[in-house]
Amino acid sequence: MNMGFMQVADTARSTVKQLRRTYRTVYVVGYSVGATTAWLCGTEPGLVDAFVAYYGSRIRDYLDKQPKCPSLLLFPKQETSFNVDELISKLRVQDNADVRKCDGLHGFADPQNKYYSEVASRQAFDDTICFFSNISKSLSD
């Protein structure tokens, strides 16, 4: 089954809207396809409070959309299908986008992936926790 990102994002939006009925604050973390889905959800005003996207390579197809909430975008040092530095330079001018390049390849945070890097994964995880902690503090002020 081949679903486009917009269909996946629609399903995620529906789920997040259901979560919003119960939870005051909603954060999203996505990896790869999920990262691009998080990006698409984060571009809808009021849907999520913040999101983290790990190696969302297809975000490059949605640069016409801007995050409406704080976002942390974690990219590998290189990708085979596009120039990471070029994408990062385009994303860094976006509002609400904290963009970082990690010392690893696509899949660096997945222990089941051949490109898993314990060091890069730990740093990205620490960055994620710090990011959400700072967002939580700012929301409670």
Is there a domain that residue 66 lies in? yes
Please say if the pLDDT value at position 2 is more than 50. Answer: no
Which distant-in-sequence residues (6+ apart) come within 8 Å of 60 by Cβ? 82, 87, 90
Please say if the pLDDT value at position 1 is more than 60. Answer: no
- The CB-based long-range contact list for 19-23 (8 Å cut-off, 24+ gap) reads 20/47
**Which DSSP state fits 105?**
B
With pLDDT > 90 as the criterion, what percentage of the chain qualifies? 88
Is there a domain that residue 77 lies in? yes
The model's pLDDT over 56-78, given as tens digits with 9 standing for 90+, comes to 999 999 999 999 999 999 999 99
User: For the chain, how many structural domains are there in total?
Assistant: 1
Hey, is 27 helix, strand or coil?
strand
Mean predicted lDDT score pLDDT of the chain: 93
Angle at CA of residue 79, ends 73 and 80, nearest 5°: 155
Residue with tokens 């990896």: 31
Query: What are 75's strand-pairing partners?
Result: 101
Per the structure, the complete domain to which residue 47 belongs is given by 5-135
Is there a domain that residue 141 lies in? no
**Average pLDDT rounded to a whole number, residues 123-141:** 93
- The pLDDT, as a whole number, for residue 140 is 79
**Average pLDDT rounded to a whole number, residues 38-56:** 96
Is there a domain that residue 35 lies in? yes
- The confidence band for 3, taking pLDDT boundaries of 50, 70 and 90, is low
Is there a domain that residue 54 lies in? yes
Please say if the pLDDT value at position 35 is more than 50. Answer: yes
Please say if the pLDDT value at position 109 is more than 80. Answer: yes
Is there a domain that residue 140 lies in? no
- The pLDDT, as a whole number, for residue 6 is 77
Is there a domain that residue 105 lies in? yes
**Average pLDDT rounded to a whole number, residues 107-111:** 96
Q: What is the CATH number of the domain that holds 110?
A: 3.40.50.1820
Query: What are 100's strand-pairing partners?
Result: 74
Q: Do the Cβ atoms of 21 and 100 come closer than 8 Å?
A: no
Hey, is 78 helix, strand or coil?
strand
Is there a domain that residue 43 lies in? yes
Of 3-7, 9-13, 14-18, 30-34, where does mean pLDDT reach its minimum? 3-7
Q: How far apart are alpha carbons 140 and 124 in whole angstroms?
A: 24
